[in-house]
Amino acid sequence: MNESEDQVTSISKARTIEAIGEFWDTHSLADYWDQTHEVEVEVRAERRRWVTIDPDVYAQVSSRARQRGLSTETVANLWLAERLRETA
């Protein structure tokens, strides 16, 4: 959706992403299914790589992640990126 204030969405009649979110927080798509139409979407995402981690190291990272309210994957990626910056 454009940032233009002149455009509104067809179902919610909202003008901002925030307003669209508020609308769908309180409405069900099932009630508007007849107003939708099929679309094709192409998604290009970088391929993920999997790395084997020692079970004890994984347990420690997972524990720290839970303490911070983050996923284990996020904490592992943050720590690896930090370490790479330190050694660059």
Q: How confident is the model at residue 68 (pLDDT cuts 50, 70, 90)?
A: very high
Burial class (CB in 10 A: 0-12, 13-18, 19+), 13: exposed
Cβ atoms of residues 29 and 37 within 8 Å: no
H or E segment and range at residue 2: none
Say whether pTM exceeds 0.75.
Answer: no
- For residue 88, the model assigns a pLDDT of 84
Alpha helix positions (H), 1-88: 17-25, 55-68, 72-86
Dihedral in degrees, nearest 10, Cα atoms 12, 15, 19, 24: 30
Model confidence at 6: pLDDT above 90: no
Per-residue pLDDT reduced to its tens digit, 43-55: 999 988 999 999 9
Model confidence at 26: pLDDT above 70: yes
The C-alpha R_g of the chain, in whole angstroms, comes to: 21
